A and B are shown apart, each in its own frame.
Chain A
Amino acid sequence: KNQVEQSPQSLIILEGKNCTLQCNYTVSPFSNLRWYKQDTGRGPVSLTIMTFSENTKSNGRYTATLDADTKQSSLHITASQLSDSASYICVVVINTGGFKTIFGAGTRLFVKA
């Protein structure tokens, strides 16, 4: 079982619609959780970083939520645009004396006109 599981694997939505991507994790001790956006052929770009005490964080049309008790996070995209088509990667950082990063497999989002 993956330590950081993302769902769905892929998603197709129409331009202007909203969508929510899920990330569930099992690893600990938790330090922080990050969402990255990766356009095709480019490196990942950080969208949000959330620590244990943060429940919600927004970055423009992107809103991330975190429930550290249930070990779940979501990324909500409002009023999607064609440029939102990308892979969205959830990353959990744990602190075991040193920091260790565990990557989810990503959700591939396609926004259609």
Chain B
Amino acid sequence: DAGVIQSPRHEVTEMGQEVTLRCKPISGHNSLFWYRQTMMRGLELLIYFNNNVPIDDSGMPEDRFSAKMPNASFSTLKIQPSEPRDSAVYFCASSLDRKFYEQYFGPGTRLTVT
């Protein structure tokens, strides 16, 4: 199994631009999580999906952030417009529903907004 796949691995963009991060969960997993990690705040859960439906988006920082999961094998996290304070590493993780806590993380996308 290839594990959780994220793209791009690195993204540098200018303030105000739209950024789209992509994630392919492990085949057969039906829960998907988006996290953000910074030195100041550590790991934070942004949103999680179960069976493609957003269950808890209370961690999404503001309306500039949106996430979608159109099917079981793909999810996106979009930031529009991006700001320098959005600079962070964004991780996607997936798990089997019956083992909610056994999450497998992707390699992350390092986002830099200048």
Contacts and interface: CB of A to CB of B under 8 A. Distances in A.
Contact of A43 (B44, B55, B101, B105): B105
B107 A43 contact: yes
Contacts of A89: 42-43
B111 to A, nearest CB: 14
B112 interface: no
Contacts of A11: none
Contacts of A49: 101-102
Interface residues of B, number: 18
B43 A103 contact: yes
27 contacts: A31-B101, A32-B101, A34-B101, A41-B108, A43-B91, A43-B93, A43-B105, A43-B106, A43-B107, A43-B108, A44-B43, A44-B91, A44-B105, A46-B102, A46-B103, A49-B101, A89-B42, A89-B43, A93-B100, A93-B101, A98-B55, A100-B56, A103-B42, A103-B44, A103-B45, A104-B42, A105-B42
Given A100-B56, A103-B43, A103-B45, 19 more contacts: A34-B101, A41-B108, A42-B107, A43-B4, A43-B91, A43-B105, A43-B108, A44-B43, A44-B105, A45-B105, A46-B102, A49-B102, A89-B42, A89-B43, A93-B100, A99-B101, A103-B44, A104-B42, A106-B42
